[in-house]
Amino acid sequence: MTGWDIDPEGVEGVLETAGERAADLEGWGAHYLETVQSAAVSAGTLNFGGPVPAEGAVGLVGQALAEFVEHTQRDVLFIGARIGKSLEGARDAAIAYLEGDAEMAADTQRLALRAPELDLRPPDQRPEGPR
């Protein structure tokens, strides 16, 4: 993999920044739900001269917003979960690469420290022929 050059500190910095943005998005998800609930109540109800609706009652627009949230809640939660899995995967991939890099370095060092194998036969008697 000659095209790869991973800087562990750089990866850590990017994952940290991405994690902070993901936390911001998590807060947005909670704020989204609160905001839509507030909008549902604030939209009011229809009153054609009957009894005054109870405080916090939800009308047609509020009901539509509630149904909208019900149908989009899974998508909003999925976005957060997908971000978390992506960050985890990036971290795991970087660790695996660095561990593999360390393993390759250790293998290379081990091979370099092995005693050389000497073939003391004359060049014309060696299996690969004269050199």
Q: How far apart are CA 67 and CA 122, in angstroms?
A: 88
How do residues 30-72 score in pLDDT, each as one tens digit?
788 788 888 887 777 666 666 666 666 677 888 888 888 888 8
What predicted TM-score, i.e. pTM, was given to this entire model? 0.57
Query: How is the chain split into domains, by residue range?
Result: 14-44+55-112
DSSP code at position 121:
S
How does pLDDT run across 75-116, given as a tens digit for each residue? 887 888 888 888 888 888 888 888 887 787 778 778 878 877
List, in sequence order, every beta strand (DSSP E) within 1-97. none
Q: How many CB atoms lie within 10 A of CB 105?
A: 10
What sign does the dihedral 28-33-34-38 (CA atoms) show? positive
Distance CA(113)–CA(128), nearest Å, equals 24
